[in-house]
Each structure stands twice: as C-alpha cells, then as structure tokens.
Structure 1
C-alpha cells in the first residue's frame, strides 16, 4: 500500500483488468485501485488525483468502528455493557451485571475486550441459530463462529454454517435475518427468487435488516 497525499491507496495489478477501476474498501478504510498490467503507474496516479474529492467524501462517510476504551458502552447479545479498566484485577475480564472490567495493563485493554466478546459470541450464537433451524425445519451439520472481514455468514454444501462473531454486537432482529439467510441456503443453495421467498417466509422484513447492515455493517466489520 502507498499513500497519495494523506489518502491510503491500495494499488492492484491485474492481468484480467481491461480498464482502471476505483472502489472504497469499507473495512480496511482505503481506496482500492485496480490497474491493467499495461497501464503505467503515472496514469493510475493521475486517475486517482482526478477522483480525489470522491475518495475523500466516501472515506469520510464511512461509519466509525465501535470504540473499545474505558467507559465506552457497547451492546453484546442485546445487553448494554460499560467497559472499565482495573490494572490490579487478576482476571483478564470480569462481567458483573452491565459492567465489564478488564484487568492488566491498559495496552492490553482492547485485545482483552475483543477476546471476551469473541468467546461470548461463540457461546451465544450457535444456540440462536439452532432455534431458527428448528422453526425452519432444516439441519445444519455444524455451526462455528468466524472472524471474517467481508461477510456475516456462510453456508457450505456440506451443511456447515459459519457465523461472524460480530453478529452478537448488532440488534437481535438483524442477527435473526443473517441466521435465517444462511439457513435458507440449506434449502436453496443460491440467491434465486425461490431462495428470497423462502427467506421472507421466515423473515418478512428482510429489507429493513439489509438496510441496517448497509448503514452500520462496515463499522462493525472494522472492529478487531
């Protein structure tokens, strides 16, 4: 990655690219420029310079990632939790009611909060998915939590479902939609009209959930 001014730019050479393309990566929070092999870097830099205002506007519009600092409040499994730091606490993390206290050095604070949240997600998400599976009459072969940075869930042809641990940080109704979406792939392994009808049979307000993900999803994916 190189910088054009203060802008983070990722340059990519592609044998398949036929023209210059520019997009914003909302997770890595940088502009991505894909160039044909035959194109000079100078031409690509001129292209980026011509689109500098657009890049700045898009980067500025990205939702902020939740902050994991003392006294910050986060939502985990539908409960608001306030983060605290106690350097003398022996336990890495201690949850009491709505207070999560992190022990040890402050430079380990965010790492330990993330570890705690990932652990809680691994405990809470699979049972929630299983409840939806019973309602939908389907049978995933296994359920695991992942640290994916580009998707909220996935379903393999083997029936194995992966859920992004960050689902535990979003509203319950949006989390339900993602789970129902992945379970629906056990019946329709595509995104056909039949698939979406199947999703809407169990989650009629799917567009509301999709809009929430478009607005807030990038911020959550940038966390950790």
Structure 2
C-alpha cells in the first residue's frame, strides 16, 4: 500500500496530479513526468519526508509546468483516430458488420464488432503485430551472436523500451510496433547485445554497432518522439 496516496496539488502554474513513490534504491528525492497519464512522480528515499518531496516539487514548479505542457495530445483508440504502425500513420476504421476481425488495409486499420470492444481489439492487434515483428528481429540478431534469449515478453512499460534480465529473458514494449523500423531495429539490437554484455561498456556498444547501423538515429528519435507513443491508446 502506498504511504502517501496520489493527489492533485495546486502548483503555482496550476493543478497537477502527483504520485508519491518510496524507493530503497533512491539516494535522493527526485522528480519525473510519467507521460502516459501526465502525472508527476516524486520518488523518496526511505528516510526522506514528504516535506522534502514538496520542497523539491515547489522549487521546480516551472519545470513541471513546462514538461506537462509539452506532452503530446492523447490519442484514443476510437473510430477515425490516426495511429502510427511501423512509423506510418494508419486511420482506425470501425466496420461493425465486417467478418475480418482486425486487419490492415491501405493504410487503414479495419476493426469489426461492437463499438465498446474497438479499443481493446486495436490494442490486442497492435500487441500481436508487435510480437510478430519484434520476435523476428530478436531471433535474427540473437542468432548472429549465437545466444538465444530464454524468453521474450511484451510489456507496457513507462520508462524503458526494453530490458534484459540475468537469466537471458528479454522484455520489450509492445508500443515499439508504432515506431519506425529503424527504431525497432536499434532497441532490439540493444537488448540482444545485453545477452552477451550485461553492462553499457565499450564492448557492449561495439556489439550494438555490429547488430544495427541505426543507433545514432534511433536514440534521439526515442528522446524526441517516445512520449508520443506513450500517449496513444
């Protein structure tokens, strides 16, 4: 159970939704913005007080306001909405009487069935498409280094696009299916490289460069556009 419940605070720049997190690993009070819900996350070390968190929050109120204002608009999975798939815009078309389920056709995502199920069906389709595309990339790149992952899991992470555990299990964000192929290629190469090097040392980055030519383009793309992917759906 959270020590401090989420709350809406009146900052000098206006109201903001704030969530408090207690972390044994944190060495100092910190702030970050969760772009998914437009929430301010305040992380407190074990012995830090809520007062310390409030002091940091109020001292950085302008930064918080600017970051929240810069968040992209939320895009819901509704009829007529435009969502990227592989970096290309696709318009959602609700076709209630269609029998094809959910399918891509001419830069459109056609979804059958009742309207109340449309959002879930779009999300399910994107997750399935992500698994198909990303699994192929993972297996191809892992095959080149001769180390296969023990497991591949798709998640809806908020702070990392991928991860590699010590047991060689990989996790990737399903939202990568909305990113351009060169971004998918880099993120997969990054995590596959961790199968050999569980660090970010020179050998790791050398292997990343062997696995993909897209690091220099993909890293700034994720920094500039990643929040937009988290605001979709």
TM-score computed with the length of structure 1 as normaliser: 0.82
Instruction: Choose which of 81, 84, 98 in structure 2 pairs with 1:75.
Output: 84
Q: Deviations over 1:115-151 (max 9, x none)?
A: 1111222222211222222344433333332333332
Pair 1:10 & 2:19 matched = yes
Tell me if the contact between 1:63 and 1:215 (Cα under 8 Å) persists in the aligned partners. Answer: no
Tell me if the contact between 1:149 and 1:222 (Cα under 8 Å) persists in the aligned partners. Answer: no
Pair 1:131 & 2:148 matched = no
Q: Whole-Å Cα distance in 1 between the matches of residues 48 and 173 of structure 2?
A: 39
Q: Secondary structure of the residue that 1:83 maps to in structure 2?
A: strand
Q: Please tell me the root mean square deviation across aligned C-alpha atoms, in Å.
A: 2.9
Q: Whole-Å Cα distance in 2 between the matches of residues 168 and 133 of structure 1?
A: 19
Aligned residue pair count: 223
Distance 1:144 1:35, change over 3 A: closer
Aligned pairs for 1:136-155 (under 5 A) are 136-155=145-164
1:157 CA drift (Å): 2.8
Distance 1:212 1:125, change over 3 A: same
Tell me if the contact between 2:35 and 2:71 (Cα under 8 Å) persists in the aligned partners. Answer: yes
1:64 CA drift (Å): 3.7
Q: Which runs of 5+ in 1 are unaligned?
A: none
Q: Whole-Å Cα distance in 1 between the matches of residues 78 and 32 of structure 2?
A: 31
1:166 CA drift (Å): 1.4
Q: Secondary structure of the residue that 2:78 maps to in structure 1?
A: coil
Q: Whole-Å Cα distance in 2 between the matches of residues 38 and 124 of structure 1?
A: 44
Equivalent residue, structure 1, for 2:201: 192
Q: Secondary structure of the residue that 2:203 maps to in structure 1?
A: helix
Greater shift in the superposed pair: 66-75 or 113-122: 66-75
Tell me if the contact between 1:86 and 1:102 (Cα under 8 Å) persists in the aligned partners. Answer: yes
Instruction: Choose which of 116, 133, 137 in structure 1 pairs with 2:125.
Output: 116
Q: Which runs of 5+ in 2 are unaligned?
A: 1-5
Q: Secondary structure of the residue that 1:145 maps to in structure 2?
A: strand
Tell me if the contact between 1:12 and 1:34 (Cα under 8 Å) persists in the aligned partners. Answer: yes
